[in-house]
Structures are given as C-alpha cells and as structure tokens.
Amino acid sequence: MKYTTIESRSRERSPHASARAWALAAAPALALLAAGAARAQDAAAAAAPVVDKGDVAWMLTSTLLVLLMTVPGLALFYGGLVRSKNVLSVLMQVLAVFSLIVLLWVSYGYSLAFAGGNAWIGSLDKLFLKGVNKDALAATFSAGVSLPEYVFVAFQSTFAGITGALIVGAFAERIKFSAVLLFAALWFTFAYLPIAHMVWYGPDGFLFAKGAIDFAGGTVVHINAGVAGLVGAYFVGKRIGYGREAIKPHNVAYTMIGASLLWVGWFGFNAGSNLEATAGAALAFLNTLLATAAAALAWSLVEAVIKGKPSMLGGASGVVAGLVAVTPACGTVGPFGAIAIGAIAGAACVWGVHGLKRLLRADDALDVFGVHGLGGIIGALLTGVFSSPALGGFGLGAGNDSILEQVGVQALSVGITVVWSGLVSVLAFVVVKAVVGLRVAEEAEREGLDITSHGESAYES
C-alpha cells in the first residue's frame, strides 16, 4: 500500500519531475551547445563582409570626380588645343567615346576584366552584369571589407571610358567620326580589357601576380592610351599644313580650365583607387596634390630656361604630366617620392612634346604620347624606385625584395603594355580603314570638322 501510494504519487508528478531531472542532467551539455552556438555566431559575424557607408559615399563621389575629369575636363583641355573650326568635333569625340565605352563596359567589359578567366583575360561569367544585383559585393584591399558591386562596376567604367577618350587627341582635326567610334570599340575590347585584367585582377592577373605596382592606371590607362594614340597618328597621317604653317591652339583659357578640372577630378581617380575612405586614400590624395604641383613648376622652369618665358600652355601641360606620372605610384610612395616623380616627369615631358615628337615624325596633334605615354612610362618605372621603404615608400610588390627587382617588374609591365597596345592598335586601324575609312576628305578638313562632320559651329561669325 505504501509502495502503491508512493508509486502513484510518483506517477502523478512524473512529467514535471522528469523534466527537472532532464534539465539537471542536460545542463552541462546545453551550456556547451550554447557556447558553441555563440562562437559560431561570432565567427559568422566576423566572416560576414562589412560594407561601410563612408566607403560607399567616398567611392560614389570618386566615380563622379572621374566623370568630371572627362566631361568636361578632358574635353575642354583638348578643345582649347585645337583650331576653332574643330573644337566641337573634339568635344563630341570625347563625349561619344566615353559614352560608348561605358555601355560596352556593363555589357561585357566588366566581365572580361574582373570575372574569373585566366592570367591574361577574364571570362563571360558576368556578361550583361549577370549575377550583379543590390546584394552582390566586391572586395576591397582590406579583409572582410566590401563595397556594393554596383559601385565598383560604376567606378571602373569611368576608368575605361576616359582611357578611350584620351586617345582621340592624337589624331584630332582630321579623322572621321565613325572611325573614332569603331576604333574605340575594337581597342577597348582587345587592348584595354586584357591589360586591366593582367594588372588589376587580384592574385590571378599575370602582372599582379608578379608584384607589379599600378595603383590607379599608369600602364592600364596612360601608357595604353599613349601608344594607341601614336599608332593612330601614323595611320591617319599628318594634318594639312603640318610642319609648313603654324597650327596654334585656339583658346588656351579653355585648356587651363580643362587642366584644372582634370586636377580636381584626378583625386577621385587616384584616391578613389584605394576603394576605402582610409589613410590609404589620404596618402594617394596628398601625393596627387604634391606631384602635380611639382610637375607644373618643373615644366615652367624648363620652358623659362629654354625659351626665356614660361607659358600658360606649358604650365597646364605640366599639370597633366604630373597627374599621369604619379598615378601608378600614388598609393605606395611617400610624399617626397611623389614630388620627385612629378618634378622628373614635368621636366622630361617638355622634351616629350618637342624633341621626342620630332624624332618620331608623327603628328600627335595634342601630344597624347608625349605626355600620357612618356609620362606613364616614367611614372611606372619610378614607382619601382620610390615605393621602397628606404626612400620613404610603403613597400614593394609581392615577391620583390629590392628596388632593382621591382623596377624590373615595372619595366616588364611597361613592355607588355607597349607591345600589346601597339599590336592591337595596328590591327584595329587596319580594320577601321577597310570598313569605314580613316580620314575625312581634304576639303572637309580645310573647312573644319565642326561643320562638315557635325553641322554646327562653336563660334558664329
């Protein structure tokens, strides 16, 4: 009876008693499970990429600044350098080429530059931005820090666009508008995209893997464009009267305004290439400021010594030379290294637009190779020197232990860019010549491309 009572009471309270007993027995295991879950949650949080609103704001601003460099910056810089009968044609070429390449970039260019592939070219995995949406992220230089991929797509599109637009200055005042557009599409596809992939596609790009340093586009943008422009100048031929009569800039004030806008926009170009609003962006920003100032003064000093007077056109050209030369170096050299690079490039590019131009026997109308090509080569090589910590820099490229090794890799980058861009440019101009022709008729050139190609005039008489 006693047993029965105890048993019955036990049965009456067994659900609660069993629960308490289970809880007591399981407590250590639950604690371990909870701790494991907490650790897993912390690990997941640590692994989840962080998107900083400040970085996003800075990169959108940088993208806008690069657009400012092109339209109206580069357009006005080039527009002031040509004769008044051709100013609108150059403005239109810059605008149209930039617009065309931006559209090609989102169609297939981004994929071929930054989506898988091999050491030389990307894949078509992101053709027409497949898989890129509001949730897609792009990596930055910091582990665990990302940007919305749309931001990266937009930023890089402006780089591609301005590179194509730079080329048109070499054969300004005599080329067909249709030829400009067809060449831009071909060259962008077969020259710009492979070089961009090799230099910038993380550890898988051929030149990136060798430790080449090109922070913001010395090879990808300036040498690439400079070589294409030089080839174009040869293919299109010299302007009527070139070497026999004075062909002067029609508005140096436009050129000065354009150079100033280029300088302002270039902060987005260089500091934006840091991809984050950090001290790295600040370094690139300061170096861009200093190198450009040094180049402007160096160019003016050389002119003052040689010609007796420093010109406004020379000062504006010095600004561009300094911007070009510091572009590959701006994220890895110290401030005084940037000053040295700017001063050297500013002085050297005076020879580039005079002595070198005569040696090459090319009518590079707006000195695309003399400034962008030569300045880009100087900047790329000096990047290998002044990035050394021994000279105030912040480190050589991966796998390079000495200045000599780094300069060797930089020279390899220069050589590959010159050869590849030159080869593609030759083939592209051959195709363009066969399809639409290259040069306007002599009568149209004499009258001016504004009227004959676009049916309007910048200055009504």
| Reduced DSSP (H G I as helix, E B as strand, rest coil) percent helix, strand, coil of the chain, to 5 | 75, 0, 25
From residue 6, alpha-carbon distances to 21, 304, 430 in Å are 18, 114, 104
φ, ψ of residue 357 to 5 degrees: the values are -60, -40
Distance CA 260, CA 2 (A): 103
Domain that holds residue 129: 59-454
Residues 292 and 411 in one domain: yes
Residue 264 domain-assigned?
Answer: yes
pLDDT reported for residue 5:
33
Residues 278 and 133 in one domain: yes
Strand, coil or helix: 63: helix
253: left (phi over 0), alpha (psi -120 to 50) or beta: alpha
> For position 426, which CATH number holds?
1.10.3430.10
Residue 461 domain-assigned?
Answer: no
Residues 138 and 159 in one domain: yes
| pLDDT one-digit tens code per residue, 387-437 | 999 999 999 999 999 999 999 999 999 999 999 999 999 999 999 999 999
Residues 264 and 333 in one domain: yes
pLDDT reported for residue 21:
42
Give me the residues of the chain with pLDDT under 50, please.
Answer: 1-33, 40, 43-45
Look up residue 148 and give its DSSP letter: E
Residue 447 domain-assigned?
Answer: yes
Residues 109 and 25 in one domain: no
Residues 29 and 134 in one domain: no
Q: Which residue has 């220069």 as its token pair?
A: 414
Residue 13 domain-assigned?
Answer: no
Residues 26 and 110 in one domain: no
Residues 128 and 29 in one domain: no
Residues 41 and 188 in one domain: no
pLDDT reported for residue 48:
81
pLDDT reported for residue 25:
45
3-state helix/strand/coil string of 357-384 = HHHHCCCCCCCHHHHHHHHHHHHHHHHH
pLDDT reported for residue 302:
98
Residues 188 and 240 in one domain: yes
Residue 160 domain-assigned?
Answer: yes
pTM: 0.89
Strand, coil or helix: 408: helix
pLDDT reported for residue 324:
98
What is the C-alpha end-to-end distance of the chain, expressed in Å?
Answer: 125
Residues 24 and 144 in one domain: no
pLDDT reported for residue 39:
57
- Using an 8 Å Cβ cutoff, are 261 and 316 in contact? no
Our count of domains for the chain comes to 2
Strand boundaries in 157-289, DSSP class E:
none
Residue 3 domain-assigned?
Answer: no
- Using an 8 Å Cβ cutoff, are 164 and 97 in contact? yes
Residue 4 domain-assigned?
Answer: no
From residue 16, alpha-carbon distances to 5, 7, 9, 33, 222 in Å are 18, 15, 12, 23, 79
Strand, coil or helix: 147: strand
Sheet harboring 145-148: ordered strands across? 50-51, 145-148, 137-139
Residues 208 and 251 in one domain: yes
